[in-house]
Amino acid sequence: MTHKIGDIISAKVTDENDKYYFAQVDGLTYEIDKAELLKPLKVGGVVSGFAYENEKHNLQITKNIPDVRLGHFAWGTVTDIRRDLGVFVNIGLPNKDVVVSLDELPTIKELWPQRGDKLMITLRIDKKDRLWGELASADILQAVRIPAKADMKNKQVKATVYRLKMVGTLVITPDYNFGFIHPDERQREPRLGEEVDARVIGVRDDGVLNLSLRPRAYEAISDDAAMLLTLLQRSSTKSLPFTDKSDPKQIKKYFGMSKSQFKRAVGNLYKQRKITQNENGLFLVEESDGE
Protein backbone atom coordinates (compact mmCIF):
# COMPACT_ATOMS: atom_id res chain seq x y z
CA MET A 1 0.00 0.00 0.00
CA THR A 2 1.44 3.39 -0.99
CA HIS A 3 -0.79 5.44 1.32
CA LYS A 4 -2.85 4.95 4.44
CA ILE A 5 -6.60 4.82 3.98
CA GLY A 6 -9.55 2.99 5.48
CA ASP A 7 -8.69 3.54 9.14
CA ILE A 8 -7.82 6.15 11.75
CA ILE A 9 -4.44 7.83 11.30
CA SER A 10 -2.52 10.74 12.83
CA ALA A 11 -0.86 13.36 10.63
CA LYS A 12 1.07 16.60 11.10
CA VAL A 13 -0.70 19.80 10.02
CA THR A 14 1.54 21.58 7.50
CA ASP A 15 -0.56 24.23 5.75
CA GLU A 16 -4.03 25.70 5.21
CA ASN A 17 -6.16 27.73 2.81
CA ASP A 18 -9.67 29.19 3.06
CA LYS A 19 -11.37 25.78 2.86
CA TYR A 20 -8.89 23.15 3.99
CA TYR A 21 -6.10 22.33 6.35
CA PHE A 22 -3.38 20.09 4.95
CA ALA A 23 -1.60 17.42 6.93
CA GLN A 24 1.17 15.01 6.06
CA VAL A 25 2.18 11.50 7.05
CA ASP A 26 4.91 9.44 5.38
CA GLY A 27 5.37 12.19 2.79
CA LEU A 28 1.73 12.14 1.64
CA THR A 29 -0.63 15.09 2.03
CA TYR A 30 -4.22 14.80 3.26
CA GLU A 31 -6.81 17.57 3.25
CA ILE A 32 -9.12 18.31 6.19
CA ASP A 33 -12.34 20.20 5.51
CA LYS A 34 -12.54 23.20 7.85
CA ALA A 35 -16.36 23.12 7.74
CA GLU A 36 -16.51 19.95 9.85
CA LEU A 37 -14.18 21.17 12.59
CA LEU A 38 -15.48 22.54 15.88
CA LYS A 39 -12.25 24.46 16.52
CA PRO A 40 -9.31 25.46 14.31
CA LEU A 41 -6.16 23.40 13.93
CA LYS A 42 -2.66 24.71 14.41
CA VAL A 43 0.01 24.40 11.76
CA GLY A 44 2.68 22.17 13.27
CA GLY A 45 0.14 20.31 15.38
CA VAL A 46 -1.16 16.78 14.96
CA VAL A 47 -4.62 15.82 13.70
CA SER A 48 -6.24 12.38 13.94
CA GLY A 49 -9.14 11.08 11.89
CA PHE A 50 -10.35 8.61 9.32
CA ALA A 51 -8.28 8.60 6.13
CA TYR A 52 -9.73 7.92 2.70
CA GLU A 53 -9.63 8.98 -0.93
CA ASN A 54 -12.59 11.26 -1.70
CA GLU A 55 -14.70 11.41 -4.84
CA LYS A 56 -12.17 13.80 -6.43
CA HIS A 57 -9.43 11.23 -5.76
CA ASN A 58 -7.76 13.47 -3.19
CA LEU A 59 -6.55 12.04 0.11
CA GLN A 60 -8.68 13.32 2.97
CA ILE A 61 -8.95 12.98 6.74
CA THR A 62 -12.35 13.36 8.42
CA LYS A 63 -13.01 13.78 12.13
CA ASN A 64 -16.39 12.08 11.62
CA ILE A 65 -15.21 8.51 12.16
CA PRO A 66 -17.40 5.95 10.36
CA ASP A 67 -18.31 2.70 12.10
CA VAL A 68 -17.26 0.83 8.96
CA ARG A 69 -13.45 0.66 8.84
CA LEU A 70 -10.72 -1.86 8.08
CA GLY A 71 -11.47 -4.76 10.41
CA HIS A 72 -14.66 -3.11 11.70
CA PHE A 73 -18.12 -4.18 10.53
CA ALA A 74 -21.28 -2.06 10.57
CA TRP A 75 -24.40 -1.32 8.54
CA GLY A 76 -24.27 0.93 5.49
CA THR A 77 -27.10 2.19 3.28
CA VAL A 78 -27.19 1.55 -0.47
CA THR A 79 -27.27 4.83 -2.40
CA ASP A 80 -26.79 3.82 -6.02
CA ILE A 81 -26.40 0.85 -8.35
CA ARG A 82 -24.10 0.27 -11.31
CA ARG A 83 -24.73 -3.02 -13.05
CA ASP A 84 -21.18 -3.12 -14.42
CA LEU A 85 -19.55 -2.38 -11.06
CA GLY A 86 -21.71 -3.11 -8.01
CA VAL A 87 -23.63 -1.04 -5.47
CA PHE A 88 -22.56 2.17 -3.73
CA VAL A 89 -22.94 2.23 0.05
CA ASN A 90 -23.04 5.24 2.37
CA ILE A 91 -20.94 4.57 5.48
CA GLY A 92 -21.09 8.16 6.75
CA LEU A 93 -18.28 9.85 4.83
CA PRO A 94 -19.08 13.42 3.69
CA ASN A 95 -18.12 13.00 0.04
CA LYS A 96 -17.51 9.33 -0.62
CA ASP A 97 -19.60 6.18 -0.94
CA VAL A 98 -17.82 2.83 -1.05
CA VAL A 99 -18.59 0.19 -3.65
CA VAL A 100 -19.49 -3.41 -2.90
CA SER A 101 -18.30 -5.24 -6.00
CA LEU A 102 -20.68 -7.15 -8.25
CA ASP A 103 -18.46 -10.18 -7.52
CA GLU A 104 -19.98 -10.26 -4.01
CA LEU A 105 -23.55 -9.73 -5.15
CA PRO A 106 -26.15 -12.28 -6.34
CA THR A 107 -25.79 -13.63 -9.87
CA ILE A 108 -29.44 -12.70 -10.49
CA LYS A 109 -29.34 -8.91 -10.65
CA GLU A 110 -33.00 -8.58 -9.68
CA LEU A 111 -31.86 -9.77 -6.24
CA TRP A 112 -29.25 -7.01 -5.89
CA PRO A 113 -29.89 -4.45 -3.15
CA GLN A 114 -31.90 -1.37 -4.08
CA ARG A 115 -31.47 2.21 -2.89
CA GLY A 116 -32.26 2.41 0.82
CA ASP A 117 -31.44 -1.23 1.53
CA LYS A 118 -28.81 -1.98 4.16
CA LEU A 119 -25.68 -4.12 4.05
CA MET A 120 -23.36 -5.09 6.88
CA ILE A 121 -19.89 -4.48 5.52
CA THR A 122 -16.25 -3.85 6.32
CA LEU A 123 -13.60 -2.24 4.14
CA ARG A 124 -10.79 -3.73 2.09
CA ILE A 125 -8.03 -2.21 -0.03
CA ASP A 126 -7.16 -3.72 -3.39
CA LYS A 127 -3.74 -3.87 -5.08
CA LYS A 128 -4.33 -0.45 -6.65
CA ASP A 129 -4.97 1.12 -3.22
CA ARG A 130 -8.69 1.46 -3.87
CA LEU A 131 -11.17 1.23 -1.02
CA TRP A 132 -14.03 -1.27 -1.40
CA GLY A 133 -16.89 -2.42 0.76
CA GLU A 134 -16.91 -6.11 1.64
CA LEU A 135 -19.90 -8.07 2.92
CA ALA A 136 -19.64 -9.41 6.47
CA SER A 137 -18.56 -13.03 6.51
CA ALA A 138 -20.53 -15.83 8.16
CA ASP A 139 -17.92 -15.99 10.96
CA ILE A 140 -18.33 -12.30 11.76
CA LEU A 141 -22.10 -12.54 11.83
CA GLN A 142 -21.95 -15.61 14.05
CA ALA A 143 -19.81 -13.62 16.47
CA VAL A 144 -22.54 -11.00 16.95
CA ARG A 145 -25.51 -13.39 16.88
CA ILE A 146 -27.83 -13.48 19.88
CA PRO A 147 -30.01 -16.62 20.20
CA ALA A 148 -33.72 -15.88 20.12
CA LYS A 149 -36.00 -16.86 22.98
CA ALA A 150 -38.73 -19.47 22.57
CA ASP A 151 -41.47 -16.99 23.51
CA MET A 152 -40.99 -15.14 20.21
CA LYS A 153 -43.21 -17.62 18.37
CA ASN A 154 -46.11 -15.90 16.55
CA LYS A 155 -44.52 -12.46 16.96
CA GLN A 156 -43.91 -10.09 14.06
CA VAL A 157 -40.28 -9.08 13.52
CA LYS A 158 -38.41 -6.87 11.10
CA ALA A 159 -35.25 -8.37 9.67
CA THR A 160 -32.64 -7.59 7.02
CA VAL A 161 -31.58 -10.12 4.40
CA TYR A 162 -27.84 -10.86 4.66
CA ARG A 163 -27.51 -14.05 2.57
CA LEU A 164 -29.40 -15.69 -0.29
CA LYS A 165 -29.17 -19.46 -0.56
CA MET A 166 -30.86 -22.17 -2.57
CA VAL A 167 -32.35 -23.60 0.62
CA GLY A 168 -33.83 -20.27 1.70
CA THR A 169 -33.25 -16.67 2.82
CA LEU A 170 -31.04 -15.79 5.79
CA VAL A 171 -31.91 -12.66 7.77
CA ILE A 172 -30.85 -10.82 10.92
CA THR A 173 -33.09 -8.75 13.20
CA PRO A 174 -32.19 -5.43 14.88
CA ASP A 175 -31.63 -7.48 18.07
CA TYR A 176 -29.14 -9.66 16.17
CA ASN A 177 -31.35 -12.74 16.17
CA PHE A 178 -30.80 -14.92 13.10
CA GLY A 179 -33.75 -15.99 11.00
CA PHE A 180 -34.43 -18.41 8.17
CA ILE A 181 -37.18 -18.13 5.54
CA HIS A 182 -37.91 -21.34 3.63
CA PRO A 183 -38.93 -20.84 -0.03
CA ASP A 184 -42.40 -22.19 0.83
CA GLU A 185 -42.83 -19.35 3.33
CA ARG A 186 -42.44 -16.50 0.84
CA GLN A 187 -44.36 -15.34 -2.20
CA ARG A 188 -41.20 -13.99 -3.83
CA GLU A 189 -37.52 -14.18 -2.98
CA PRO A 190 -36.40 -11.11 -1.01
CA ARG A 191 -33.35 -9.30 -2.33
CA LEU A 192 -30.04 -8.91 -0.51
CA GLY A 193 -30.19 -6.02 1.97
CA GLU A 194 -33.99 -5.80 1.93
CA GLU A 195 -35.83 -5.29 5.20
CA VAL A 196 -38.74 -7.71 5.55
CA ASP A 197 -41.65 -7.87 7.98
CA ALA A 198 -41.92 -11.51 9.01
CA ARG A 199 -43.87 -13.72 11.38
CA VAL A 200 -42.07 -16.11 13.69
CA ILE A 201 -43.48 -19.60 13.05
CA GLY A 202 -40.93 -21.41 15.18
CA VAL A 203 -37.77 -21.05 17.25
CA ARG A 204 -35.08 -23.70 16.75
CA ASP A 205 -33.10 -25.19 19.61
CA ASP A 206 -30.08 -23.12 18.57
CA GLY A 207 -32.09 -19.90 18.82
CA VAL A 208 -32.57 -19.35 15.08
CA LEU A 209 -36.01 -18.06 14.11
CA ASN A 210 -38.03 -19.86 11.47
CA LEU A 211 -39.91 -17.08 9.70
CA SER A 212 -42.77 -16.68 7.24
CA LEU A 213 -43.50 -13.82 4.87
CA ARG A 214 -46.87 -15.27 3.98
CA PRO A 215 -49.95 -13.56 5.42
CA ARG A 216 -51.89 -15.24 8.17
CA ALA A 217 -54.98 -17.03 6.94
CA TYR A 218 -57.33 -14.20 7.91
CA GLU A 219 -55.11 -11.73 6.04
CA ALA A 220 -55.19 -13.82 2.86
CA ILE A 221 -58.97 -13.86 2.44
CA SER A 222 -60.90 -11.65 0.03
CA ASP A 223 -62.67 -8.43 1.05
CA ASP A 224 -66.08 -10.12 0.78
CA ALA A 225 -64.89 -13.02 2.93
CA ALA A 226 -63.40 -10.60 5.44
CA MET A 227 -66.78 -8.87 5.73
CA LEU A 228 -68.53 -12.22 6.31
CA LEU A 229 -65.96 -13.14 8.91
CA THR A 230 -66.45 -9.84 10.73
CA LEU A 231 -70.24 -10.27 10.77
CA LEU A 232 -69.86 -13.78 12.19
CA GLN A 233 -67.46 -12.59 14.86
CA ARG A 234 -69.83 -9.82 15.90
CA SER A 235 -72.87 -12.07 15.98
CA SER A 236 -73.96 -13.09 19.48
CA THR A 237 -74.46 -16.65 18.25
CA LYS A 238 -71.34 -16.61 16.03
CA SER A 239 -73.58 -17.66 13.17
CA LEU A 240 -75.54 -16.24 10.21
CA PRO A 241 -78.80 -17.74 8.83
CA PHE A 242 -77.64 -17.84 5.21
CA THR A 243 -76.49 -20.67 2.95
CA ASP A 244 -75.81 -21.16 -0.75
CA LYS A 245 -79.53 -22.01 -1.02
CA SER A 246 -80.62 -18.60 0.30
CA ASP A 247 -82.59 -16.20 -1.88
CA PRO A 248 -80.29 -13.95 -3.96
CA LYS A 249 -82.39 -10.88 -3.10
CA GLN A 250 -82.06 -11.55 0.64
CA ILE A 251 -78.30 -12.01 0.24
CA LYS A 252 -78.05 -8.74 -1.70
CA LYS A 253 -80.15 -6.89 0.87
CA TYR A 254 -78.20 -8.17 3.87
CA PHE A 255 -74.65 -8.30 2.55
CA GLY A 256 -74.70 -5.93 -0.42
CA MET A 257 -73.19 -8.57 -2.70
CA SER A 258 -74.42 -10.91 -5.39
CA LYS A 259 -75.13 -14.57 -4.65
CA SER A 260 -72.05 -15.61 -6.68
CA GLN A 261 -69.89 -13.25 -4.61
CA PHE A 262 -71.44 -14.68 -1.45
CA LYS A 263 -70.71 -18.25 -2.51
CA ARG A 264 -67.10 -17.41 -3.35
CA ALA A 265 -66.65 -15.69 0.03
CA VAL A 266 -68.18 -18.68 1.85
CA GLY A 267 -65.93 -21.04 -0.10
CA ASN A 268 -62.91 -18.93 0.77
CA LEU A 269 -63.67 -19.02 4.50
CA TYR A 270 -64.50 -22.71 4.39
CA LYS A 271 -61.17 -23.56 2.74
CA GLN A 272 -59.41 -21.49 5.40
CA ARG A 273 -61.31 -23.52 8.02
CA LYS A 274 -62.78 -20.34 9.44
CA ILE A 275 -66.38 -21.53 9.21
CA THR A 276 -68.60 -24.57 9.03
CA GLN A 277 -71.97 -24.64 7.33
CA ASN A 278 -75.16 -26.69 7.25
CA GLU A 279 -78.75 -26.22 6.12
CA ASN A 280 -79.32 -23.70 8.92
CA GLY A 281 -76.52 -21.30 8.06
CA LEU A 282 -72.89 -20.39 8.61
CA PHE A 283 -71.03 -20.96 11.89
CA LEU A 284 -67.77 -19.46 13.06
CA VAL A 285 -64.88 -21.77 13.94
CA GLU A 286 -62.94 -20.53 16.94
CA GLU A 287 -59.34 -19.52 16.16
CA SER A 288 -56.53 -21.73 17.42
CA ASP A 289 -53.63 -20.26 19.39
CA GLY A 290 -51.35 -20.66 16.40
CA GLU A 291 -53.39 -18.19 14.42
CB 200 within 8 A of CB 217: no
Which residues have CB under 8 Å from 159's CB, separation 6+? 171, 172, 173, 177, 179, 195, 196, 198, 211
pLDDT value of residue 43: 95
Task: Name the burial class of residue 192, with classes exposed (0-12), middle (13-18) and buried (19+) by CB atoms within 10 angstroms of its CB.
Answer: buried
Helix (H) or strand (E) holding 226: helix 223-234
Q: How many CB atoms lie within 10 A of CB 78?
A: 22
Q: Which domains does the chain have, with CATH numbers?
A: 8-62 (2.40.50.330), 74-136 (2.40.50.140), 146-212 (2.40.50.140), 218-284 (1.10.10.10)
DSSP 30-42: EEEEGGG-SS---
Task: Name the burial class of residue 289, with classes exposed (0-12), middle (13-18) and buried (19+) by CB atoms within 10 angstroms of its CB.
Answer: exposed
Provide the residue type at 88 as one letter: F
Task: Give the Cα separation of 175 and 160 in Å (integer).
Answer: 11
pLDDT value of residue 289: 41
Beta strands 209-212 and 118-125: pairing type? Answer: unpaired
pLDDT value of residue 223: 82
159-190 exposure pattern, b = at least 16 Cβ within 10 A, e = fewer:
bbbbbbeeebbbbbbeeebbbbbeeebbeebb
pLDDT value of residue 217: 59
DSSP 164-182: EETTEEEEE-TT--EEEE-
If the chain, 291 residues long, is cut into consecutive pieces of 10 residues, what is the mean pLDDT of each piece? 80 96 95 94 95 94 94 96 97 95 96 97 92 92 92 94 96 96 94 97 95 75 84 93 92 92 90 89 74 41
pTM, full prediction: 0.73
pLDDT value of residue 1: 45
pLDDT value of residue 291: 41
Task: Give the Cα separation of 88 and 198 in Å (integer).
Answer: 27
